[in-house]
A and B are shown apart, each in its own frame.
Chain A
Amino acid sequence: MISIVAQQVRRRVAPVRVPLGAAGALLIVVGSLTPWATFFFGYPGKVTLAGFPGGARLYPLLLAPAAVLVVVDLAGRRRGGLTAALGAVAVVGWNVLAIAKDGGGFGAVAYGGWLALAGAGALALALHSLPADRPVAESFGRLPAPVELLALAGSLGLLLVVVVVGLDIEESSRFVSFAAFVGFASAALQRLGGFAWLQSVMERHHRVTIAAAALTALAFPFTQQGSSYWLRVFASIGVFAAAAIGLNVVVGLAGLLDLGYVAFFGVGVYVGALMGSAGRTTYQGEWPFILVIIIGAAVAAVFGVVIGAPTLRLRGDYLAIVTLGFGEIFRIAANNLDWLTRGPNGIAGVPDLALGNFSFGDTHEVLGFSLPAFANYYFLELLVLAGAIVVFTRLNDSRIGRAWVAIREDETAAAAMGINTWRMKLLAFAIGAFLAGAAGTVNAHVAASVSPDSFTFLESILLLAAVVLGGMGTVAGALLGSAALFILPEKLRAFQDIRLLMFGLALVLMMRFRPEGIVPSRRRQRELHDEDGGAGAMSAPPAAPVAGRGAS
């Protein structure tokens, strides 16, 4: 029924869409430059003043250029443009509601807000009435190399700017506007084929991409003006992401349901804490850190083999419950074995790493910038993360990776083809555990403490969510998922109380509407959406990972 109404609307609007679109864009511009709130009551972004798009008013303004799609013929313009316009509607709408709520009624909303809202709506209508899209081309013409490289550098730089700006935003409501803006803008770009083009550029200039990405990541600490806080968060994200990539091997590649994965991570953390000669441990020892990482990862891998050997024969669901059980056993054991783990107190005060004279706990001066202590850990974590990524991508492209895909799709057929399924599954388990253990060992120093409370079932679910929601089978997905799961709770502090509720609902909704995750591997997306009917797989533009190679 909805589609019939939509058709009617489209037919009516089509003849006037150019002036409608122009009017819409104009209204958005005017609206962004005029007040949205009638009086000052502390709403962020200086929204009572006119003449400049302060606060969240910037975002609809930045989305307004989508209006050109009404007249310029680009592939995918209707979906892309509509997404952008809807983004503008969303941002303005959210702010109008927030202003009304905080200001005590819709009287607090000034004419600028209404103008912008009307404009966004008009623009959406205009774009909606465009004729159906041409499919976005899968391959693009080549531009001269310097232009492409410039585009590459530009997009990475833009990413850095977005991240830094986003992190700086203090108020939760403005962050929501920002996040909505980034989300809709990215989706619009993707539908216009922007990411597909970027990806082809990246594939052509492989090494430059990797170098540039690494440079961007390395540049981040220099933007922090000596504040440790976000570096600490990112170091934690990095560790979490490394573990998530390990889980991606188990769940994403081999298709094994592991609900107790956090136990492997925990083993690594405890090994790191115990061997890091912390003051309050039961075991004192000074070991070179390289050795500690290897030992931590190895012990975790051993646990993986021990747990996997008897249980990998089981049906998938049973495996899930058994691994959940092991996760809980680990937590309870850590809580009870006082002589080893110091029980519920955990181990605190794990000292900073020191390699020779270089202590990780000090601030260092590099190139005239003062890097706070956590920058050191951040770099270390980048290293570990890079290692995990390398392992993952190598495996993905190898015989082992293909064996895993075969097992995942049809175990009986795989066995018939001569694959030793049990051994392959065990290998996946062990490698996943190894990566988790390595990440955990580093975390012992990043978090400087460990206690059994950190290894609850919820933690395993968070790791799983990072992989599944971010995108199974891709590196970018795991990174995105991990980052989101860490940053969002920080930034949306105003919603802290309902945070878990939102998380639960998000899981349900994602599984219903986009089970392959935000940045999926193409194969996965086809696997999961083929069910929606033949046309579905054909008309959807292929998803493209933003950075790195994960598509297969």
Chain B
Amino acid sequence: MTQFLQQMVNGVVLGAMYGLIALGYTMVYGIIQLINFAHGEIFMVGAFAGLFTYARLPPSLQANPLVALPLVMLTAVVVSVGTSLMTERLAYRPLRRASRLAPLITAIGISIALQEAVRLFYPLPNGQLGAKSPVSFPRLVSGANLELGPVTVARVSLFVVVVAVGLMLALQAFVRTTRTGKAMRATAQDPDTARLMGIDTDRIIVVTFAIGAALAAVAGVMQGMRFVQVDFRIGFIAGLKAFTAAVLGGIGNITGAVLGGFVLGIVEVMATQYVPRGSQWKDVWAFVVLIAVLVFRPSGLLGERVAARA
């Protein structure tokens, strides 16, 4: 029983991360029907950007998480949002009316280019260029593990879940109550009518990309904090699983993305525990779930929110 509960905790933490990244995918897809392959790399870039700042802080500040953490997060968000907006403006916007294949391949190209850019040019603290092997990341939230009854929870894991859930709720509120949020929903539902209603759809798309990127950046920093290292490859598989989570919950559906994230995290962890030799197939479960969902319930668990594309 203890193991089950502990694995549930592991699954929830994992799911929180997937959910944060999935939000970016789901919002962008809902609004312009583009699978932003590069989103996983935005996550990775955020992590590295945060690390860059941390490495250049004086040691006194480094030791003070109350100062270091916000600074790191802020830099990560700024860089990720900047990168994402740049890709939107330069690569995706000109292709808005093109076939489905072109933006997809562009996104893949950007994903590869970003990975390589970090691998080749990230300035390491020792002066060399290029993050060719994993780079150390600070823990930032340290302290003893929390023992909640039979389960052990690392402090940083708790931090991850709290921040993730908090951000997801904030996003929900934002979309539901603010004008911009409503505009986002309108654009997702029917871009042409939204434009007729006076909504600047271009600007809304930019906002969508920005929010998605910011969430991914936070997730990236937290990933670094959990594993005390970052690697230029973390974006790819995380991105894939997060997109699966988004589809699982219903693409375009924000609550769905969150739910999908948690479901996926728990499934993955439980499979490792209870399926014989399950750890070998860890990455496969995500795809199995995806295929099953798409075959039996293509609109996802909570239903999708996508405008029908002509």
Contacts and interface: CB of A to CB of B under 8 A. Distances in A.
* A and B in contact, CB less than 8 Å: yes
Interface in B88-120: 91, 94-95, 97-106, 108-117, 120
Contact of B104 (A320, A329, A503, A528): A320
B1 interface: no
Interface stretch (B49-57, B70-78, B176-184, B279-287): B279-287
Contacts of A317: 29, 33, 35, 100, 104
Given A500-B112, A508-B109, A508-B113, A325 B287 contact: yes
Give me the 9 closest cross-chain CB pairs, A-B, nearest first. A507-B109, A504-B113, A504-B112, A325-B287, A501-B116, A508-B109, A310-B295, A511-B106, A511-B102
Contacts of B112: 458, 461, 500-501, 503-504, 507
B294 interface: yes
Contacts of A255: 101
B247 interface: yes
B82 interface: no
Contacts of B298: 313-314, 318
A21 B10 CA distance: 74
A505 B103 CA distance: 13
A515 B102 contact: yes
Highest count of chain A CB atoms <10 Å: which of B103, B240, B287: B287
Interface in A486-521: 497-498, 500-501, 503-508, 511-512, 515
A336 interface: yes
B108 A322 contact: no
Contacts of B35: 317, 320-321
Contacts of A318: 247, 294, 298
A497 B116 CA distance: 9
B243 interface: yes
A527 B100 CA distance: 13
Contacts of B98: 515, 528, 531
Contacts of A127: none
Contacts of B95: 511-512
B46 to A, nearest CB: 19
A326 B291 CA distance: 9
A311 interface: yes
Describe B's contact surface by its main secondary structure.
helix
Contacts of B243: 321
B290 interface: yes
B97 A257 contact: no
Interface in B7-49: 29, 33, 35
Contacts of B106: 507-508, 511-512
A484 interface: no
A505 B113 contact: yes
25 contacts: A255-B101, A317-B104, A320-B104, A321-B35, A321-B244, A326-B287, A326-B291, A328-B240, A328-B284, A329-B288, A332-B283, A333-B284, A461-B108, A465-B105, A498-B116, A503-B109, A504-B112, A504-B113, A505-B109, A507-B109, A508-B91, A508-B113, A511-B102, A512-B95, A527-B99
A505 B87 CA distance: 12
A328 B287 CA distance: 9
A325 B295 contact: no
Size bracket of the B interface:
35 or more
Given A325-B291, A507-B112, A497 B91 contact: no
Contacts of B120: 497-498, 501
A316 interface: yes
A324 interface: yes
Interface residues of A, number: 44
Interface string B147-160: 00000000000000
B105 A511 contact: yes
A328 B284 CA distance: 8
Nearest to A310: B295
A243 interface: no
Contacts of B291: 310-311, 322, 325-326
A464 interface: yes
A326 B244 CA distance: 13
Given A461-B112, A506-B109, A528-B98, 10 more contacts: A310-B294, A322-B294, A328-B284, A332-B280, A332-B281, A498-B116, A498-B120, A500-B115, A501-B120, A504-B108
A504 B110 contact: yes
B137 to A, nearest CB: 24
Contacts of A326: 287, 291
A318 B250 CA distance: 12
Contacts of A188: none
Interface in A281-338: 310-311, 313-314, 316-318, 320-322, 324-326, 328-329, 332-333, 335-336
A251 interface: yes
A461 B109 CA distance: 9
Contacts of B100: 257, 316-317
Contacts of B109: 503-508, 511
A90 interface: no
A320 B286 CA distance: 15
A468 interface: yes
Interface string A416-449: 0000000000000000000000000000000000
Contacts of A335: 280
Nearest to B117: A501
B94 A468 contact: no
Contacts of A504: 108-116
B295 A311 contact: yes
Highest count of chain A CB atoms <10 Å: which of B94, B109, B116, B290: B109
Contacts of A508: 91, 106, 109-110, 113
Given A329-B287, A332-B281, A508-B91, A251 B101 contact: yes
A482 B288 CA distance: 32
Contact of B290 (A325, A500, A512): A325
A336 B94 CA distance: 43
A458 B37 CA distance: 13
Interface in A170-212: none
Interface in A449-500: 457-458, 461, 464-465, 468, 497-498, 500
A497 B117 CA distance: 11
Nearest to B109: A507
Highest count of chain A CB atoms <10 Å: which of B108, B115, B116, B281: B108
Contact of A464 (B105, B240, B284): B105
Contacts of B94: 512
A329 B240 CA distance: 13
Nearest to B130: A497
A248 to B, nearest CB: 13
Contacts of B288: 329
A24 B298 CA distance: 65
A464 to B, nearest CB: 7
Interface string B250-289: 0000000000000000000000000001001101101110
Contact of B240 (A324, A332, A503, A527): A324
